[in-house]
Amino acid sequence: MRAQVQAWYGNWLRRRIPPARSVTLDQRRVFIFPTRYGFFYLTICVLLFLGGINYENNLIMGFSFMLTSLFIASIMSTFRNLASVTLVAGQYRAGFAGAHGAVEIRLLGGRRYHRSLWLRWRNEKAQPPREVSLEAGAEDSVWLDVTLPRRGWVDPGRLQITTRYPLGLLRAWSYVDLDHACLAWPTPVASLSAPASGGKEEQGERQHDRGSEDFEGVREYQPGDSLRAVDWKKLARGQGLNTKMFNDPVEGRLWLEWDRLQGLDPEARLQRLCWWVEHLDGSGQPYGVALPGESLSPGSGSLHHKQALDMLALYGQPRREVH
């Protein structure tokens, strides 16, 4: 019975607030209900009203009416504090499976200020909520941690945004699906033998990308280039940001190969390849990755490192638009 109720509520919520990359909260998307303190407050109002009638005391009855009016005004104030806020899906920070990633939520204020807005993932009760306040027309962003139970794209579920401002008598909230996802890289598992092939049979050939032996020249800096290769002297002389280029023997570049991990299931292969990507990146050794049907040419640097991890994470996964 409980599962049926949850399924019905989930379908109703999808119709009421369908997934979208940007959602503006309005009367259709905001729910409001008294808090425990609000129910206690209403009980006091009722008791004062009954006492005023019983003792024919106009002062007590007037006080009861004043408190009730304040509660009614609080309904509108709490609703307006959440209404007109626009939530926009932002970027994501990938992480390893079994750990945490993060997703960015951008908030755009409406025509009035918004105070004490609390954000959390609806399905992650263990994660503490994050508070944000917005001035009229202002913009802010919040990064929320996402638990990554498995490799690939992980959907954190609906975002819960809540407020009890200004008096705490009522709670206004909404469950928004921003069609978000966070990428989980394979969990690194150590392997004693490297699943790699070098270029010994091609000794003597030279490549001219990101080596570390013979200096060849400089080129314009590109995002992802190692900071160790930046020509800081030219930068200090005001000649722009450039990257030093070296030659390396082909034998210095390794290919991490899927086919060298025979006898292991796909996830175990990806985990060991991931460990070697981390190991080689830490040592500055150029490397490439070869998976069935796709490959990443040898290289080094932070951009190459991320491309290698992303390729391992997305192997066998359905295609998804990356934002």
pLDDT band at 230 (very low <50, low <70, confident <90, very high): confident
Q: What is the pLDDT of residue 46?
A: 93
Residue keyed to tokens 């966070």: 182
Per-residue model confidence as pLDDT tens digits over 123-132? 887 788 999 9
Q: Exposed (0-12), middle (13-18) or buried (19+): which is 56, by Cβ within 10 Å?
A: exposed
**Dihedral (Cα; 319, 97, 278, 181), 10-degree rounding:** 40
CB atoms under 10 Å from CB of 102, counted, come to 16
151 pLDDT band (50/70/90 cuts)?
very high
CA 217, CA 91: separation in Å to the nearest integer? 36
Strands (E), the chain: 22-24, 31-34, 86-93, 95-96, 100-108, 114-121, 130-134, 139-147, 152-154, 159-163, 170-176, 182-185, 196-197, 206-207, 214-220, 242-249, 254-257, 287-291, 294-299
Q: Where are the domains positioned within the chain?
A: 13-185, 196-314
Rounded to the nearest integer, the mean pLDDT of the chain is 84
Does residue 74 surpass a pLDDT of 80?
A: yes
In this prediction the pTM is: 0.75
